[in-house]
Amino acid sequence: MFLEVKNLSKTYTDKKFFGENKFNALDGVDFSMKDGESLSVIGGSGSGKTTFGRIISKLLDFDGGSVKYYGKDIKSYNITEFSGIVQMIFQNPYASLNPKLKIRSSLLEAFGAGAPSNAEDIIEKTLESAGLEKKILDNFPHQFSGGQRQRIAVARALIKKPKLIVADEPFASLDVYSQNNITEIFKSVRKNTGVSIILITHDIAAAIKFADRMIIMNEGKIIKDDSSENVFKEKENAYITDLLAAMEI
Amino acid sequence: MNKIFKNKAAFAGVVFIAAVVFIAVFAPFIAPYEPASQDLSVRLAAPSAAHILGTDDLGRDVFSRMVYGARVSMAVGFFAALLTVLIGTLLGMVSGYFGGIADSVIMRFTDIMLCFPTFFLILLVIAFFEPNIYNVMLVIGLTSWTGLARIVRAEVLSIREREFVLASKMLAVSKSRLFFIHILPNVISPIIVYAAIGIGGAILTESGLSFLGLGVQPPMSSWGQILMQGKDYIYAAWWLSLFPGIVILFTVLSFNLIGEALRDILDPKEYS
């Protein structure tokens, strides 16, 4: 199994002067996926989907349960090793690139200290698969639109040739055209490189369009894990019927 | 840089500071007299063609003394501000980036420093050590970093959670690169602003110390010291107090105007 998550839990503690507030972001999440599989995770705000994405990307520690890639615990991977397995794409494309660095420097970072001699070729090829031209390398991030920046972020993630890309609301702040554009890029990247993509979103239509498998999260739990067609057939779950009703409006 | 020339007040400030720096650097060529040479026959002479800003109680030329005093003020201002920036930036970045115990220790220490009225702390230190220009620079630098450390810490706290820092972490970028390439250049604007205003503050503090006789010692001259000597003769020789006072006012004002302009220029475009 590529990724196996068992009984995962995460509690955010807000320390006050007297006592503390606790919030269970994840509460016993079980989940697994095969190599090359892609899926979308949907759920409302506060359902735990971003926390889930960050934990499986090793950006956040968790409190209970286990996360394993290829049967090996996520905590026993060092960051260099791990960077070749999982990469992440973030919600806000405007903050995804260092405003003080040219695109070239941002992308070269993927090679670490010693960039190979063919680094420029690799970058060029990756840019192409993200629908970008080579000339953007000499520009600064503020010269690009949100959609373009998000594509640059996709290219950066691809340079490492990861097995999995976690995309956390990658088009929440983009217009419909750019949304569609990014979804198409994801699809073609998936087809060409065999990379798995987990798309975290609250946009149900985009989620259905993107993947066959769909997970619905609510209050820190996975309440449904099924094919995109079957997910909404089950009417007895109150949350799912609510989601459906919201979609039809 | 173009924007600072469009801001008329800041441009005036830049011109004034440039002039003062020029005068300080070329003091021996500009001053018509030796700053310490006395001529008792012209004690307390009013401004005239021979002494354009008059003379003091020992017959020394006030203009020449002020020209050399510019060296002291500029040196104290720049070095004290440099020290402030180094200490404040380092402590603020360590505190904000590493968090935890380092953060608690540094911030409590900063709180303690903030509890002392700075000027009296400086007075205390100078009273124990020899009052000279180096101690004045050092003690101003060592006491005025607290505000900057807090500002830098707050900025780092917000920058380190930005997506581009997280993305670089995912790419297994080294800690030093994260620190110096990703975080530091993005917190540099408030540091520059603080430095510009800090130079003005340091010059003011030096003048204050010299006025109290705890700054630069005679026969070396500084603006604050000329001001202090002038207070005894203020009814008889107004020029002794007026000119150094005006120069201090305009210098500090210039640095503040430049600082304000830099704040406007550096702040808004950051993430657009």
pLDDT recorded at residue B272: 40
**Run of H or E residues at A141:** none
Please give the C-alpha separations between residue A143 and each of A127, A147, B165, B178, in angstroms, as whole numbers: 17, 12, 20, 23
Residues B220, B133 contacting (CB under 8 angstroms): yes
Q: Do A80 and B270 touch (CB under 8 A)?
A: no
Cα–Cα distance measured from residue B174 to residue A204, given in angstroms and rounded to the nearest whole number: 38
Q: Do A83 and B170 touch (CB under 8 A)?
A: yes
Cα–Cα distance measured from residue A48 to residue A29, given in angstroms and rounded to the nearest whole number: 10
CB < 8 Å to A157, chain B: 167, 170
pLDDT recorded at residue B270: 47
Which residues are registered as beta bridge partners of A213? A39, A227
Residue of chain A whose Cα is closest to the Cα of B270? A99
pLDDT in tens, A191-235: 888 889 999 988 887 888 888 888 888 888 888 888 777 776 766
Q: Which residue in B162, B173, B271 is closest to A109 by CB distance?
A: B173
B186 touching chain A per CB within 8 A: yes
A142 touching chain B per CB within 8 A: yes
Burial letters for A82-96: b for 16+ Cβ neighbours within 10 Å, e otherwise?
Answer: bbebbbbbbbbbbbb
Residue (of A177, A213, A242, A223) closest to A47 by Cα position: A223
CB < 8 Å to A106, chain B: 164
Cis upstream peptide for B219 (omega within 30°): yes
A156 touching chain B per CB within 8 A: yes
Q: Do B171 and A80 touch (CB under 8 A)?
A: no
CB < 8 Å to B173, chain A: 109, 112
Q: Is the dihedral of CA B222, B223, B224, B225 positive or negative?
A: positive
Residues B77, B248 contacting (CB under 8 angstroms): no
CB < 8 Å to B271, chain A: 94-95, 99
Residues A34, A1 contacting (CB under 8 angstroms): yes
pLDDT recorded at residue B139: 87
Longest dimension (CA), chain B: 78
A145 touching chain B per CB within 8 A: no
Residue of chain A whose Cα is closest to the Cα of B184? A100
Cα–Cα distance measured from residue B232 to residue B214, given in angstroms and rounded to the nearest whole number: 17
pLDDT band at residue B72 using 50, 70 and 90 as cut-offs: confident
pLDDT recorded at residue B88: 93
Q: Estimate the share of chain B in helix, then strand, then coil, as percent rounded to the nearest 5.
A: 75, 0, 25
CB < 8 Å to A110, chain B: 171
DSSP string, B219-243: TS--HHHHHHHHHTTTTT-THHHHH
pLDDT profile of chain A (249 residues), mean per 10: 88 79 85 87 84 90 89 88 90 87 86 78 85 85 87 89 89 82 87 89 82 85 80 68 63
Residue (of A147, A160, A170, A155) closest to A50 by Cα position: A170
Which of B155, B162, B163, B183 is the mutation pick for testing A, counting most A CBs within 10 A?
A: B163
A57 touching chain B per CB within 8 A: yes
How many interface pairs between A and B have CB atoms less than 8 angstroms apart? 66
Flag whether pLDDT at B82 surpasses 90: yes
Please give the C-alpha separations between residue B69 and each of B25, B73, B224, in angstroms, as whole numbers: 11, 6, 9
Here the tokens at position B157 are 């706290």
pLDDT recorded at residue A88: 92
Residues A64, A56 contacting (CB under 8 angstroms): no
CB < 8 Å to B164, chain A: 95-99, 106
Q: Is the dihedral of CA B155, B204, B72, B218 positive or negative?
A: negative
Three-state DSSP class for residue A11: strand
What ipTM score was computed for the predicted complex, to two decimals? 0.86
Cα–Cα distance measured from residue A132 to residue A147, given in angstroms and rounded to the nearest whole number: 11
A100 touching chain B per CB within 8 A: yes
Cα–Cα distance measured from residue A4 to residue A56, given in angstroms and rounded to the nearest whole number: 10
CATH of domain A3-95+165-248: 3.40.50.300
Flag whether pLDDT at B269 surpasses 70: no
Residues B227, B244 contacting (CB under 8 angstroms): yes
Q: Do B170 and A87 touch (CB under 8 A)?
A: yes
Q: Do B167 and A80 touch (CB under 8 A)?
A: no
Q: Do A96 and B167 touch (CB under 8 A)?
A: yes
Residues A52, A168 contacting (CB under 8 angstroms): no
Cα–Cα distance measured from residue A155 to residue A195, given in angstroms and rounded to the nearest whole number: 13
Residues B121, B143 contacting (CB under 8 angstroms): yes
pLDDT in tens, B195-226: 888 888 888 888 888 888 787 777 778 888 88
Residue (of B194, B88, B152, B179) closest to A98 by Cα position: B179
The domain B55-266 belongs to what CATH superfamily? MetI-like (1.10.3720.10)
Q: Do B186 and A99 touch (CB under 8 A)?
A: yes
Average pLDDT over residues B177-193: 87
Here the tokens at position B229 are 């000597």
pLDDT band at residue B94 using 50, 70 and 90 as cut-offs: very high
Flag whether pLDDT at B187 surpasses 50: yes
pLDDT in tens, B143-177: 889 999 999 999 999 998 888 999 998 888 888 88
Here the tokens at position A116 are 């190979």
β-strands A64-69, A72-73: how paired? antiparallel
Domain spans of chain B, in order of start: 55-266
DSSP string, A33-52: E-TT--EEEE--TTSSHHHH
